[in-house]
Amino acid sequence: DIQMTQSPSSLSASVGDRVTITCRSSQGISRYLNWYQQKPGKAPKVLIYAASSLQSGVPSRFSGSGSGTDFSLTISSLQPEDFATYYCQQSYSIPQTFGGGTKVEIK
């Protein structure tokens, strides 16, 4: 299985901050990397697919980059509704695997 490692596991930030979350895969996965946002008690919601493609309806303050083994999700200006847990997921090979999550909390 491909292991997905996210860092940090949690962070505290203020509204308006620029936030970057990283995800590293245990082997190269080209650009087959997706990002999800999950709020408490809710299902995950896709933000970015194929490393950098913004899902329809997702605000443009979210962006993704990377290829190979190193990826990042950036929120350019954190909004109150962005406080949540973020997961990366590789779609390169079965079994699809997720990172352990990054919880973004209010400072």
Partner 1 sequence: QVQLRESGPGLVKPSQTLSLTCSVSGASLSSSDYYWSWIRQHPGKGLEWIGYIFHSGGTYYNPSLKSRVTISVDTSKNQFSLELTSLTAADTAVYYCARYKQVLYDYYFDYWGQGTLVTVSS
Interface with partner 1 (CB under 8 A), residue from 2, 11, 13, 46: 46
Pairing of strands 97-98, 45-49: unpaired
- CA dist 88 and 24 (Å) reads 9
What minimum distance in Å lies between the beta carbon of 16 and partner 1? 29
Q: Choose the binding region for partner 1 from 16-24, 58-66, 73-81, 98-106 (rule: CB under 8 A).
A: 98-106
Q: Choose the binding region for partner 1 from 16-24, 41-49, 65-73, 75-83 (rule: CB under 8 A).
A: 41-49
Q: Choose the binding region for partner 1 from 21-29, 30-38, 61-69, 74-82 (rule: CB under 8 A).
A: 30-38
3-state secondary structure of 33: strand
Reference 58, options 48, 73, 44; nearest CA is 48
Q: The tokens of 34 are what? A: 């997706």
Contact pattern for partner 1 over residues 57 through 86, marking x by CB under 8 A: ------------------------------
Interface with partner 1 (CB under 8 A), residue from 50, 77, 79, 105: 50
Helix (H) or strand (E) holding 20: strand 19-25
Q: The tokens of 88 are what? A: 């990366």
